[in-house]
Structure 1
Amino acid sequence: MSATELRAKDEQSLKAELIELRKQQFKLRMQYSMGQSTRNHEFSRIRKDIARIKTVLNEMSRA
């Protein structure tokens, strides 16, 4: 998801998406620790998406 797409959304939907991404990150981390997941590339994708959302939320709060 790009930052321009995120900037078009409102604050509530961004917060909901942030919560959903954190849940996905937790599930993926648990699967990886139990040896069930082979999707290691998802770690960095989810982490970067979380950072993008937090950046846009910070921009909104400062504006």
Structure 2
Amino acid sequence: MEFKELKNKSLSELEKLVTEYKAELFSLRFKNATSRLDKTHQIKEIRKNIARVLTAIKQQENATKGGK
């Protein structure tokens, strides 16, 4: 998911996305540990998506607090 798509979402939607991505990351890590994950690059992609969503959340929080 691209960052410009995330900027249009509400705070509750972003928090829900973080929860979903973290659950998916847990599942991928478990599959990787049991040697059932073929596409190991997915772990890296999910970690980047989580970081993007957390950045969008932080920006929205700062905007509502009157920050930069």
TM-score (norm 1): 0.97
Q: 1:26 is matched with which residue? A: 26
2:62 maps to which residue?
Answer: 62
Structure 1 gaps of 5+ residues are: none
CA shift, 1:39, in A, is 1.2
Supply the distance in 2 between the matched residues of 1:57 and 1:14 (Cα, whole angstroms).
7
**Pair member with larger Rg:** 2
C-alpha distance in 2 between matches for 1:26 and 1:17: 14
Report the counterpart of residue 14 of structure 1 in structure 2. 14
User: What is the root-mean-square deviation in Å for CA atoms of aligned residues?
Assistant: 0.5
Q: Which amino acid aligns with 2:2?
A: S
Misfit runs of 4+, over 4 Å: none
Highest RCO, 1 vs 2 (Cα 8 Å, sep ≥ 6): 1
Provide the secondary structure at the position in 1 that maps to 2:35: coil
Q: How many pairs are equivalent?
A: 63
Structure 2 spans left out of the alignment, 5+ residues: 64-68
Shift in Å, 1:38:
1.1
Deviations 1:31-62 (A, max 9, x none): 00001111111011100000000000000111
